[in-house]
């Protein structure tokens, strides 16, 4: 019997965040205000989000043998994430993300992947025991697709549900068939869905069209996140379901998508249906926009449940 556990295979980075009145244009220098350094990387964020949302979580990834890498490992542990399958790379430094956030809470991000690019099949295979015991595998695209493919195939071998957040989506929108055919649910945002299907996603109607195209690629279940509108769930054998988000005062959208994915995985691992897991994820994503930075913005299970019970949806 599967444990109520999430295993995350993905990236980790040290986030360097600066606030500005607006995002600079090409060649422009503008003054920033608030500055902070936070634990980040989509894999790391989603693992911490799942841990804070109440799940038992294990993380598989690579950081450098440097102070940033050690800090990230310690941060995982503080967020109830098993870091025993983490690798400290002796040849590459810890990943870095440089994030600029404007007064509306929108951001632009530059990443240097570094050690994340060295995650390999052997790193995944060493975690097979925890993979076999986990109810859900959660992945993104900030590590080599070969590593994601290996993880998806290994999870499928053990009957572990496979979730892929295709972020950042390839510029050409294409992913290996061997990866997609081993994915149970794919979770793109509007931009990622458009890159993968060629369909501009702006609302529920266009998201439905994009979801049908995504199903043709392999995954039988589709979740397209639509920012403040919420998320569309197209689940195998069931009618499409549009799930609204929650009203909050957004100041920084950094890691909102990661909060959504991590909380969704936690709820699913805990026995919730995909529909209820999406509702839980929407609440977590909304809460994440109310605080600056990635790691500080990830909400706890109590905070998510309180919002679901007391707040109105958009």
Rg (CA), the chain: 18
Q: Name beta bridge partners: 70.
A: none
Domain residues for the domain of 226 are 5-11+42-91+117-310
The answer to whether residue 253 is domain-embedded is yes
| pLDDT(313) > 70 | no
The answer to whether residue 129 is domain-embedded is yes
> Is 91 noted as a catalytic residue in this protein?
no
294 contacts 307 by C-beta, under 8 angstroms: no
The answer to whether residue 22 is domain-embedded is no
What lies within 8 Å, CB to CB, of 1 at 6+ separation is none
Structure-model confidence comparison of residues 312 and 205, the more confident one? 205
| pLDDT(268) > 70 | yes
Q: For the chain, how many structural domains are there in total?
A: 1
Q: Assign residue 224 the CATH number of its domain.
A: 3.40.1190.20
Distance CA 253, CA 251 (A): 7
Which of 108-112, 252-256, 283-287 has the highest average model confidence (pLDDT)?
283-287
The answer to whether residue 215 is domain-embedded is yes
The answer to whether residue 19 is domain-embedded is no
What pLDDT, on the 0 to 100 scale, is given for residue 311?
75
Q: What is the pTM of this model?
A: 0.91
pLDDT in tens, 72-124: 999 999 999 999 999 999 999 999 989 898 888 788 888 899 999 999 999 99
Helices and strands per DSSP (H, E), number in the chain: 11, 15
Distance CA 118, CA 128 (A): 18
In the numeric block, which tokens belong to residue 22? 């607006």
In the numeric block, which tokens belong to residue 232? 């569309």
pLDDT cut 70: percent of the chain above it? 99
pLDDT in tens, 174-200: 999 999 999 999 999 999 999 999 999
The answer to whether residue 30 is domain-embedded is no
Distance CA 9, CA 276 (A): 23
Catalytic residue among 15, 203, 258, 302: 258
What pLDDT, on the 0 to 100 scale, is given for residue 103?
87
Strands 241-243 and 231-234: antiparallel
In the numeric block, which tokens belong to residue 303? 């905070």
pLDDT in tens, 17-61: 899 999 888 999 999 988 988 898 999 999 999 999 999 999 999
The answer to whether residue 97 is domain-embedded is no
Distance CA 204, CA 202 (A): 7
The answer to whether residue 236 is domain-embedded is yes
């Amino acid at each position: 019997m599967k444990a109520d556990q999430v295993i995350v295979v993905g990236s980790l980075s040290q986030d360097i965040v600066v606030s500005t009145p607006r995002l600079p244009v090409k060649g422009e220098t503008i003054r920033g205000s608030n500055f902070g350094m936070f634990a980040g990387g989509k894999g790391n964020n989603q693992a911490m989000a799942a841990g804070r949302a109440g799940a038992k979580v294990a993380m598989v990834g690579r950081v450098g043998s440097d102070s940033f890498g050690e800090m990230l490992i310690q941060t995982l542990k503080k967020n109830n994430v098993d870091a025993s399958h983490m690798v400290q790379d002796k040849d590459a430094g810890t990943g870095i993300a440089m994030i600029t956030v404007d007064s509306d809470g929108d951001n632009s991000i530059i990443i240097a992947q570094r050690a994340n690019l060295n995650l390999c099949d052997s790193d995944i295979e060493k975690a097979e025991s925890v993979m076999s015991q986990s109810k859900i595998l959660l992945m993104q695209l900030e590590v080599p697709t070969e590593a994601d493919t290996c993880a998806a195939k290994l999870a499928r071998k053990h009957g572990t549900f496979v979730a892929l957040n295709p972020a950042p989506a390839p510029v050409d929108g294409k992913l290996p068939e061997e990866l997609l055919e081993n994915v149970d649910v794919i979770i793109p945002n509007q931009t990622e869905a458009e890159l993968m299907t060629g369909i501009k996603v702006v609302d529920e109607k266009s998201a439905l069209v994009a979801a049908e195209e995504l199903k043709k690629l392999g995954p039988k279940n589709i979740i397209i996140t639509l920012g403040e509108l919420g998320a569309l769930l197209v689940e195998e054998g069931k009618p499409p379901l549009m799930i609204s988000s929650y009203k909050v005062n957004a100041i920084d959208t950094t890691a909102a998508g990661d909060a959504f994915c991590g909380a969704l995985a936690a709820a699913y691992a805990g026995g919730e249906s995909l529909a209820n897991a999406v509702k839980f994820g929407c609440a977590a994503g909304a809460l994440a926009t109310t605080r600056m930075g990635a790691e500080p913005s990830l909400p706890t299970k109590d905070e998510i449940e309180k919002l679901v019970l007391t707040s109105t949806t958009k």
